[in-house]
Amino acid sequence: MTKFEKPGRRENWDYPDMARESGTRALEDAGIEYDRIEEAYVGYVYGESTAGERAVYELGMTGIPITNVNNNCSTGSTALYQAARSIRGGLADCVLALGFEKMKSGSIALDSYGDREPPMLRHMQAIEKDSPMVFPPAAWMFGTAGAEHMRMYGSTPEHFARIAEKNHRHSTNNPYAQFQTEYTLEQIQADKMIYEPMQLTRLQCSPTSDGSGAAIVVSEEFVEKHNLAGQAVEIVGQAMVTDMRSTFDSNTARDVIGADMSRKAADAVYAQSGLSAQDVDVIELHDCFSANELITYEALGLAEVGEGHHLVDSGDTTYGGTWVVNPSGGLISKGHPLGATGLAQCAELTWQLRGTADKRQVEGATVALQHNIGLGGAAVVTAYRPAER
């Protein structure tokens, strides 16, 4: 991956430059040339048609199929999912998954066109039944879910602020993170208010970011042929789930913002892999807002529904606890260039399982779990283990 940056901070850094940087690093890491790539899935949310082709042409032009992917904030993981499906289906032995985003500063607009229905109109209308819409809309949607959790289960604004404190603290050891500053709980609570009902402050929100991530996904035969077992990480379970009737029929904000999708995807991954949440050591999950991290604890089975805040109280989601969640700093501190986020999560967990995450290293990590959602909507959950040596 590239370092994630504040939009426009790196001068003359356009999306082809980002893709060249992350893609070249991925190829060098795998020890292969671009001409071994048989297909590419390239994700981005904000860009013109065929930007995926233009980005990958920085690595080579060999005529391979290049598919553009746009699945909101889960775009990078969707590209990874599609690449892995090609391998699992025997359609290819070596596939590139790449994501990038060149964003504008400020809050993300959910309606880019004025002459058609926004894809998330139904989601916003469902939340608006109980919570009048305020801007920015994404903070309102996730903030409403956080306020709902407080009302129903007794979590407090401090629980959410402590999640942000943890992730900012983790990011101090991540040279790829957009922010590498440690903040006190008091500083987080006193920062600019973004959504009053759950006391959501700016330091509990993921920032807009520029950046790119990439992964080379290959078959077991390819690993053996190229002697890559010493560094390969195996996908032992993976699922992508889109909105279901329960998203709206449950009449809960948490399901509208993806909890039911995440739960179904996680259950499928546990069934595929034979693992449970208790087997997992390290997790990168989609903390676009602190509220979503807490709700996702429950969706992934780390806690029962309504009990996610108890993990914050016990310290079970940081170093020394049962799991280390978002050792990278997560979206809140590492940054959130939408199309790159899922592949940056993949990179972090690969390094963790290799034991090469430096000061971020989770000691003895042998099972990793990745969670990435995009409203509108899609959730992708992936479980990893080191490849058998």
- Catalytic residue at 288? no
Contact residues for 259 (Cβ-Cβ < 8 A; gap 6+): 145, 252, 295, 296, 298, 299
**Contact criterion met (CB below 8 Å) for 289 and 331:** no
Task: Report the residue count for the chain.
Answer: 389
Q: Give the containing element (helix H, strand E) for 324.
A: strand 324-325
Q: Which of 149, 286, 309, 336 is catalytic?
A: 336
Strands (E), 61-115: 66-69, 94-101
CA gyration radius, the chain: 19
- Catalytic residue at 336? yes
Please list the residues that pair with 294 across neighbouring strands: none
Output the 3-class SS for 43-62.
ECCCCCCCHHHHHHCCCCCC
Distance, in Å, from the CA atom of 332 to the CA atom of 138, rounded to the nearest integer, reads 14
Q: Which of 73, 94, 205, 288 is catalytic?
A: 73
Q: What is the residue-wise DSSP string for 199-256?
A: TEEGGGBPPP-BEEEEEEEE-HHHHHHTT-TTT-EEEEEEEEEE--HHHHHT--HHHH
Residues labelled as active-site residues: 73, 336
